[in-house]
Amino acid sequence: MNAVMDAAQGFGVSSTRYLQTNYPDARGLFLWVSWAADLRNTFFIFFPLWFHLRSSVGIKLIWVAVIGDWLNLVFKWILFGERPYWWVHETAHYANADRPHIEQYPMTCETGPGSPSGHAMGAAGIYYTLVTSILAIMTSKKKGGGKRPTNRDWYLKAALWTLFSGVQVCVCLSRVFIAAHFPHQVVAGVITGIIVAEVFNRTQWIYSAGMKKYFYTTLFLTSFAVGFYLLLRSVGVDLLWTMEKAQKWCVRPEWVNLDSTPFASLLRNMGTLFGLGLALHSPLYAEAKRSGGRTSKVGCVVGSLVLLHLFDSFKPPTHTAALFYLLSFCKSATVPLVAVSIVPYFVNGALSLQSKKGAWPRDYTH
């Protein structure tokens, strides 16, 4: 088994070396793709945009992202996947004379295990959800009109699935290029991401889940992950073994940060899910739902994107791990609260006030 893994990982290092040697000009593109594929962009961009266009799609995006990333964490703890940027230095697969050199970049030195790829899994789950949701919306409109699929429908379907495939290829190549993952890890990530998204395509209870369900789901997922970590640690398994390797083999110490640790990811996701539950069951959201015209939706989208962009500039201090994790949870919980309840409440309040001011002179003249 070790020989098989060494061969697969040796092929992965060769793939990284090939891409870095033959396509050096693509470095900027691949770094941008890795940044764009981060789930942070789902929470800060896709979610506020889609929630105000079609709330069910926005809710599903959060569940797919959170549950998918939670499963990714558990899989990584079980599979103990290496990463190319440290494996190439430690493996006995190479003789010292022909050990290949691979470049590192600011996004290379992630601190968790490598299998399956979280970026590939997240991108596959999110974009699969978006494509299937768009197609479902178009199909429902056609059914309402009683029309059969036209050539335009087939072109749209082909274009969307081609775009989906292109995005997955770019994400996978970017993760291999920067030496963060081996090819088999990104392929595994794409497959598992699609499976998670398809499961939630068939799940309906998330749209009517009460606050208790959000609370107990968040509590269960957090408790399971922490309990699993403590259980394995009690039998001598160190699930944070990758932190030492990242600190040892990353060429720039500042590229290793707490933001990429497994517990940082866990608390970010749990904060987002809990925040979504709070937002959907807050009095502000109940008030904002009463008015939802086109102007209101545009204002909510723009307001949410601007405010969340400013909010994202706040970086929790990293000098104390416990404080960093706590603030990461709170920051993540605030994101859906801002997009779902706070911004819509004030936008609709401002529009209502403006309409009253506009109507006052006409009423007065009568």
Residues designated as active site:
119, 181
The Cα 322–Cα 240 span in angstroms is 16
Query: Please, what is the Cα angle at 67 between 247 and 82, to 5 degrees?
Result: 30
Query: 260 vs 58, 93, 119, 255, 325, CA distance in Å?
Result: 25, 28, 12, 10, 11
Q: How many CB atoms lie within 10 A of CB 34?
A: 23
Helices (H) and strands (E) in the chain, counts: 16, 0
Query: 210 vs 66, 206, 254, 279, CA distance in Å?
Result: 17, 9, 42, 11
Query: 322 vs 9, 295, 325, 327, 364, CA distance in Å?
Result: 35, 42, 5, 9, 60
Q: Name which of 158, 128, 118, 138 is nearest 60 in CA terms.
A: 128
CA-derived radius of gyration, the chain: 23
Provide φ and ψ at 112, rounded to 5°. -95, 170
Q: At what angle do helices 262-280 and 321-337 cross, to 10 degrees?
A: 30
Query: Please, what is the Cα angle at 262 between 261 and 265, to 5 degrees?
Result: 90
| Cis status, amide bond into 336, omega within 30 of 0 | no
Query: 296 vs 106, 344, 350, CA distance in Å?
Result: 40, 8, 10
Query: 334 vs 247, 306, 310, 330, CA distance in Å?
Result: 31, 14, 13, 6
The Cα 284–Cα 287 span in angstroms is 5
